[in-house]
Amino acid sequence: MLWFESDYTVGAHPAVLAALVATNGENLASYGADVYTLRAKEKIRAACGGRGEVYLLAGGTQTNMLTISAMLASHEGVIAAETGHVASHEAGAIEHTGHKVLTLPHSEGKISAAQVDAFVEAFYADPVYAHMVHPGMVYISQPTEYGTLYSLAELEALRAVCDRRGLPLYCDGARLGYALACPENDVSMADLARLCDAFYIGGTKVGALCGEALVFREGAAPRAFLTYTKQEGAMLCKGRLTGVQFDALFTDGLYEKIGSVAIGCAAALRRALREKGYAEHIAAPTNQIFVRMTREKYEQLRPSVAFSFWEPLDAEMCVVRFVTSWATRPEDVEQLCALL
């Protein structure tokens, strides 16, 4: 079976696993006070331009709900694309913390500075706005749920609107490693740290067994955030589990390497698909490839390839998704291409 279903079907990157094995026997402080966690945080701060407050958490939905609920006042909601992960695929985690997701139409997974500005303008123009959920922050993802990227110019425009409107900006980087490795990308990790009030560096989908590194702008972390993570059941007793993994991911450029491998494979696959005449459904440069395919071909590939049916198009055609990761090998791509 060829695996192109997602970037989280294999365990940890071998170097991450090796770090877990190497440190397993050591007696370490618990609840995130161990040396590996401290070291990982320092390395992440360095990658963020030397500033920022870092917290390690176990998963993406957890990180989103904790961050968003800690940054919003009770009467506020979070602005997001209607396709944003928080809007659709987190089982109402944001609402469960008491906050509405204020959705905007998306453009290939993205929302624009102009959209945010217009939404806020219209909100306060409504004479009964005091009876409605106030816009309290902006949520974006890089790459988006559709694999697309915000350019630096787009991000800076969003930041400018957020400044003008008094809204914090938060970026979900569940697959950030795959954005950073794209030739088309012009947004560095330091840019995100500079332009966002908070963002997270995805681990689970980028080589870790579990774990996301949440970075607040220096001085902007909510008070007693550590206690809040405990209160939400998100503080790991053996904090070493995420500490050791992120220490490894930020050693010897591993996080970048993981991204490069996946993006290299995705580029090769994209080329092959284009050559074979498949139309790309969404022009996304990262490790998710959305193409149009006949339903017949889809059924034909299924026994030998693990990949996703995305949505139906018409009686004959559908959209499918292929995903590469650090675990994808060039020969996997070649074998898949031979079957296309």
Query: Of 199-218, which residues contact a second copy (CB under 8 A)?
Result: 204-205, 209-210
* Burial category of 180 from C-beta neighbours within 10 Å (exposed 0-12, middle 13-18, buried 19 and up): buried
In this complex, which beta carbon is closest to a second copy, that of residue 91 or of residue 283? 91
In this complex, which beta carbon is closest to a second copy, that of residue 41 or of residue 134? 134
Query: Does residue 303 belong to the site contacting a second copy (CB under 8 A)?
Result: no
How do beta strands 169-173 and 134-141 pair?
parallel
Nearest distance from C-beta of residue 160 to a second copy, angstroms: 23
Query: Does an H or E element contain 337, and which?
Result: helix 330-339
Query: Does residue 29 belong to the site contacting a second copy (CB under 8 A)?
Result: yes
Beta-carbon count within 10 A of 20 CB: 17
b/e 215-244 (16+ beta carbons within 10 angstroms → b):
bbbeeebbeebeebbeeeebbbeebbbbbb
Query: Does an H or E element contain 182, and which?
Result: none
Nearest distance from C-beta of residue 74 to a second copy, angstroms: 5
| 3-state secondary structure (DSSP) of residue 133 | coil
- CA distances to 34, 200, 207, 326 from 261, in Å: 31, 21, 11, 5
Query: Does residue 240 belong to the site contacting a second copy (CB under 8 A)?
Result: yes
Beta-carbon count within 10 A of 125 CB: 8
Query: Does residue 15 belong to the site contacting a second copy (CB under 8 A)?
Result: no
User: Of the ranges 44-52, 123-131, 150-158, 186-194, which one interacts with a second copy (CB under 8 A)?
Assistant: 123-131
Q: Confirm if 178 and 210 have CB atoms less than 8 A apart.
A: no
Query: Does residue 61 belong to the site contacting a second copy (CB under 8 A)?
Result: yes
Among 3, 119, 146, 200, binds a second copy (CB under 8 A): 3
Query: Does residue 329 belong to the site contacting a second copy (CB under 8 A)?
Result: no
Query: Does residue 11 belong to the site contacting a second copy (CB under 8 A)?
Result: yes
Scan residues 241-260 and list those touching a second copy (CB under 8 A): 241
Beta-carbon count within 10 A of 57 CB: 23
Among 105, 219, 233, 277, binds a second copy (CB under 8 A): 233
Query: Does residue 306 belong to the site contacting a second copy (CB under 8 A)?
Result: yes
Nearest-angstrom CA–CA distance, 234 and 200: 15
In this complex, which beta carbon is closest to a second copy, that of residue 57 or of residue 196? 57
In this complex, which beta carbon is closest to a second copy, that of residue 29 or of residue 38? 29
In this complex, which beta carbon is closest to a second copy, that of residue 147 or of residue 211? 211
User: Of the ranges 13-21, 287-295, 296-304, 315-323, which one interacts with a second copy (CB under 8 A)?
Assistant: 13-21
Query: Does residue 183 belong to the site contacting a second copy (CB under 8 A)?
Result: no
Scan residues 97-116 and list those touching a second copy (CB under 8 A): 97-101
> Which sign does the torsion angle of CA 104, 110, 113, 115 carry?
negative
